[in-house]
Amino acid sequence: MVLFLTSDIGAIKQKNGISVASKLNNTNSLVDELQKYITKGDHFLFVASSPNSHKINDFYGQLTFDAFKLSGFDFKNLHILDSRNQHNAKNLVKKADIVFLAGGDTISEMRFFNKINLSNLLKCYSQIIVGQSAGAMNLAEEVYCPPESKDEVKNMRYFCGLGLTKINIEPHYKNTSHLGQTGILQKILLEDSKKKPFIAITDGSYIVDTGLEQKVFGEAYIFKNGNYNQICKNGKYLKLGPNIFNNSNEL
């Protein structure tokens, strides 16, 4: 199993006010890295974050599928996993050549993942999983979910995730909500980093976790022990060491 923890893969762009599929953002060699691990492309599984939003799931699932095809991945079949076919989750995961975990509301998405027992299904899965935003956050053993608005400041920020990686990410860094603009989010992130370190990545940046090694590609920052430092720039990558998972001062 190879995990791609992404912020925004750039699959969708606006054209005359309409969302359309776009080639994946390859600024930091995302397409090139995916090509190393994708050996065939018959079945693309899009796992929705909001299981009952069927029209929205179909729309964004199709755009994501089309974006991969525009980027040279010739998947033949798109499958969208939501409440309509959750009873068939085991078979859909089993035959998937790639599993894409959508972005959305992190906590609501994890509730759906728990309902379909996705953690156990993916632990038996051996191919490619791409998590985008909330989907990437929920790949962790213990998910770190900071607030996105003032109303969420007192919300639960830690809960059990899919358990497939030790890495916690903060996606869309530098492109957050008004909390980031007021400095509230920055203070929360720094304080929370005293409990557990995490990596903040900008849109277009990502982390690859093969189980044997972890690499961050593109602009990224480590939040640790109440401090933060930039660890990688666009166009570069950094291999992460085992100390990234604890509160030592080493990467």
Would you kindly state where each structural domain of the chain is located, as residue ranges? 2-147+159-167+204-217
pLDDT number for residue 156: 79
pLDDT number for residue 155: 76
The answer regarding whether domain 2-147+159-167+204-217 maps to CATH 3.30.70.3270 reads no
For residues 63 and 11, is the Cβ–Cβ distance under 8 A? yes
Query: How many Å apart are CA 149 and CA 58, to the nearest integer?
Result: 28
Q: What 3-state class would DSSP assign to 27?
A: coil
Amino acid at 237: Y
Query: Which residues, listed in sequence order, are joined to residue 85 by a DSSP beta bridge?
Result: none
Taking the model in full, what pTM does it have? 0.93
Query: How many Å apart are CA 96 and CA 78, to the nearest integer?
Result: 9
The tens digit of pLDDT for each residue in 86-145 reads 999 999 999 999 999 999 999 999 999 999 999 999 998 999 999 999 999 999 999 999
Question: Residue 182 pLDDT more than 70?
Answer: no
